[in-house]
Amino acid sequence: MNSPVYLLDTDHLTLLERGGEACQTLRTKLSRVNTDRVSTTIISYEEQARGWLARVAQVRETEAQVRIYQKLEQNLRLFASMPIFNFDLAAATEFERLRRSYRRLGSMDLKIAAIAITQSAVVLTRNLSDFGQISELQAEDWSK
């Protein structure tokens, strides 16, 4: 039997970018998994890209823009280094079902969960309080 596919949530991707102790713990655990078993979603890409683009739009100083564009490029390279699961018709159908059952959870989290469920993937996240509510979903925090 194949090992599971691990799907990095947006917050775990942010940890990888920022570094620190939680990042080292995450990197150590990820090093024990074949890289072809580690992925993310187009939803996490959307969330992170929107954040970086908003920062670029807010900053007026050219030097600050250069630094932000460098971080945006690093972010793009991180996403290019792993498989990205799309929000396809199966995920959209699962999302609609989840949205009816878990009305208090955010749409982006539900979309990530829907992708993970349809791909039989384990979500790696620090947000177990929300993802943990979804009974059909496997979620783990690898930052601890």
> Cα separation of 37 and 80, whole Å?
15
Describe the strand order of the beta sheet including 5-8 as a list of residue ranges: 84-85, 38-41, 5-8, 121-124, 138-140
pLDDT at 18: 87
pTM for the whole thing? 0.92
Q: Domain spans of the chain?
A: 5-140
- What DSSP state is assigned to residue 95? H
pLDDT at 1: 58
Low-confidence ranges of the chain (pLDDT < 50): none
Check if CATH label 3.40.50.10110 holds for domain 5-140: no
> Cα separation of 79 and 28, whole Å?
19
